Amino acid sequence: MEVVFYISALLLLLFSLDAITGVLNSIKQSRLRAQRFRIEADDLKNQLLQQEKKYSVSGNLKWKGYRRFRVSNRVMEAQDICSFYLSPLDEEAICPYEPGQHLGFKFQIPGEAKHLIRTYSLSSGDTASNNYRVTIKKVPPPPGTSHPPGRGSTYFHEDLEIGSTIEVSAPAGKFYLDRQDQRPAVFIAGGIGVTPLLSMLEVICDKKIDRVCHFFHAVRNSDDHAFAQSLKNLAEGNPNVSLHTYYSSPQENAELASGIKTGFLSVDAIKDAIGHSEAQFYICGPPPMMEALVPSLEEAGVNSADILMEAFGPASVKKKKNSESDGQEKDAKLESSKFGSVHFVKSDVTVEWDGSSSILDMAEEHDVDLESSCRAGSCGTCQVKVVSGKIIYEDEPSTDPDEGNCLTCVGTPEGDVKIDA
C-alpha cells in the first residue's frame, strides 16, 4: 500500500512538472511571438519613415530632386499643342499642387551629351488617379531666321510616346491661385499661356468657390485654340464665369464660333468687360503680350500688387513699385552694389558689375559655363553655390534656391561676391 502511494505521488509530480514545463514553454513562445511582432512593427515603421522621407517635405508628399514618370497618355489639343499625362513609375502617390504651378523636367536629347532641363505649367492633375497633365506647344523656328525650333518642346512632341519615361521634379512656383481673395478673378491668357490659368479656373469650378471669374484667351485662330471646348463647358456650367475669346488672325472666310471676337486683346476691352479695376489679375503669355498689357493695366488704375503674372521665355516685364519707399530701397541696394564684383571661383574669373546685368549674363559674357533654362527665376536650373557675399533680387523669384545657393539668372551682387562656378 505504501509503495502504491509513493508511485502515485511520483506520477503526480511528473505530471505537474510536465504541466509547468508546458506553461513555461507557452510563456516563452508568447514572448518570442511578441518580440517578433515588435521587430516586424519596427521594421514596418522604419520602412514607412523611409518612404515618407523619400517623398515627403512638410508632410505633403513632395519629393526632392527628380523622380521617374511614365507617359500614360497623349492628347492633341490643337495644332502642334499636345497634352502629356504623367504617372509615377514607382506607383507611389503624387503630391498635390497649387493650380498655376509647374513641373521641372530633365531629359537627354538623342545625340547630345548634356541633359536639358525645362519647366512646363501643369494644365491639370488628379491625385485620385495619380497623374499630372502638362500641355506643350511645339515651338517652331522664329520666322525669317535660321534659329532651330524649340529643343524641349520638339523632344516632347517627337520623342515621347505612350510608355516613355522622363525625370520629373515636384510641383513648384509662386504663380498660383490665391484661394483666400474673394474679389473677382480676371484671367488673361495668351496662346499656350492658357495652361496654368485653366488649372486655376478648374479648381474654382470643381471646388464650387463662390467667386466671379472673367477668362480672356487671346490666340491667332482656331488652329491655336487649345481647350476651347473645356473652357466653354466651364463657363456654361458656372454662372460666375464669363469667357472672352479673341482671334488676332482668323482664317479667311472661316466661320467663327459664337462669342469669339476678332482683333488683339486690349486693356480697353478688358475694362469694358469687367467694368472696374477692383479685381485680382492673373496673366500668362508670351513676352510681347505681357510687355503691352501689364503697364497698360497699371496706367488704367490697377494696383501692381493685384497683378500676378508668369511669362514664357526670358521676359522682363517690370511692374511699378507700390510706393516711394520701395523705390528708395531699390536705389539704396543698387548704390551699395555699384562697385561690387563677381568672382567665379572654379573658372578663376572676376567681373565688375555694371549695375544691370544678372550674374548669368556676366558669366556668359566671360565664357563661364552655367546651366540655365527659363532665365526668369522660375525653374531653378541656374542655381549655384554662393561661396561668400550676398545676392539680391529686384523681384522675388518664383522658385526658392537651395540653402546657400542663388539663382544666377535673376540675381545681382550686393558688394563683392564669390560664386562656385
Task: From 125, 146, 172, give the residue that closes a domain.
Answer: 172
Number of other CB atoms surrounding residue 390 within 10 Å = 15
pLDDT-based confidence at residue 52 (cuts at 50, 70, 90): very low
Q: Does residue 44 sit in the same domain as residue 71? A: no
Residue range 226-259, pLDDT digits in tens: 999 999 999 999 999 999 999 999 988 888 888 8
pLDDT of residue 123 exceeding 60: yes
* 151 domain-assigned: yes
Lowest mean pLDDT among 105-119, 274-288, 367-381: 367-381
Task: From 172, 195, 224, give the residue that closes a domain.
Answer: 172
* 324 domain-assigned: no
User: For residue 333, what pLDDT is reported?
Assistant: 47
The gap from C-alpha 47 to its chain's centroid, in whole angstroms, comes to 28
pLDDT-based confidence at residue 327 (cuts at 50, 70, 90): low
pLDDT-based confidence at residue 43 (cuts at 50, 70, 90): low
User: For residue 57, what pLDDT is reported?
Assistant: 40
Q: Does residue 355 sit in the same domain as residue 413? A: yes
* CA distances (Å), origin 160, targets 67, 69, 74, 109, 335: 17, 12, 9, 11, 49
| DSSP-based three-state secondary structure for 102 | strand
| Mean pLDDT to the nearest integer, 21-48 | 56
User: In this structure, which amino acid lies at residue 217?
Assistant: H
Residue range 334-358, pLDDT digits in tens: 454 456 899 999 999 999 998 888 8
8 Å CB contact between 231 and 195: no
Q: Does residue 266 sit in the same domain as residue 382? A: no
What order of strands is seen across the sheet that includes strand 383-393?
349-352, 341-344, 411-419, 383-393, 405-407
Per-range mean pLDDT, top range of 6-10, 32-36, 202-206, 402-406? 202-206
**Taking all residues of the chain, what is their mean pLDDT, rounded to a whole number?**
84
pLDDT of residue 44 exceeding 60: no
| DSSP-based three-state secondary structure for 327 | helix
8 Å CB contact between 273 and 244: yes
Task: From 144, 172, 200, give the residue that closes a domain.
Answer: 172
pLDDT of residue 180 exceeding 70: yes
Number of other CB atoms surrounding residue 405 within 10 Å = 18
> Of 364, 330, 325, 326, whose CA–CA distance to 344 is shortest?
364
Provide the CATH number for the domain around residue 346.
3.10.20.30
Residue range 160-178, pLDDT digits in tens: 999 999 999 999 888 999 9
pLDDT of residue 285 exceeding 80: yes
Looking at per-residue pLDDT, the higher value among 107 and 39 belongs to: 107
| Nearest-angstrom CA–CA distance, 91 and 23 | 48
Q: Does residue 26 sit in the same domain as residue 71? A: no
C-alpha cell at 189: 491668357
pLDDT of residue 317 exceeding 70: no
Q: Does residue 201 sit in the same domain as residue 274? A: yes
- Contacts for 85 with CB less than 8 Å, ≥ 6 apart: 71, 72, 73, 74, 75, 131, 132, 133
pLDDT of residue 218 exceeding 70: yes
Looking at per-residue pLDDT, the higher value among 18 and 417 belongs to: 417
Parallel, antiparallel, or unpaired: how do β-strands 349-352 and 81-88 relate? unpaired
Which backbone phi and psi does 244 adopt, to 5 degrees?
A: -130, 115
* 322 domain-assigned: no
Q: End-to-end alpha-carbon separation of the chain, Å?
A: 104
The residue range of the domain holding 112 is 66-172
Which single residue is written with the C-alpha cell 531666321? 145
Lowest mean pLDDT among 73-77, 310-314, 364-368: 310-314
User: For residue 112, what pLDDT is reported?
Assistant: 85
User: For residue 208, what pLDDT is reported?
Assistant: 93
| Mean pLDDT to the nearest integer, 86-114 | 92
pTM of the model: 0.75
8 Å CB contact between 206 and 136: no
Q: How many CA atoms lie within 13 A of 55 on its CB side?
A: 16
| Nearest-angstrom CA–CA distance, 83 and 86 | 10
Q: Does residue 228 sit in the same domain as residue 278? A: yes
Residue range 364-385, pLDDT digits in tens: 888 888 887 777 777 778 889 9
Provide the CATH number for the domain around residue 135.
2.40.30.10
Task: Provide the number of structural domains found in the chain.
Answer: 4
* 179 domain-assigned: no
Q: Does residue 192 sit in the same domain as residue 305? A: yes
Q: Does residue 303 sit in the same domain as residue 195? A: yes
| Mean pLDDT to the nearest integer, 185-210 | 96
User: For residue 35, what pLDDT is reported?
Assistant: 62
Residues pairing with 100 in the sheet = none
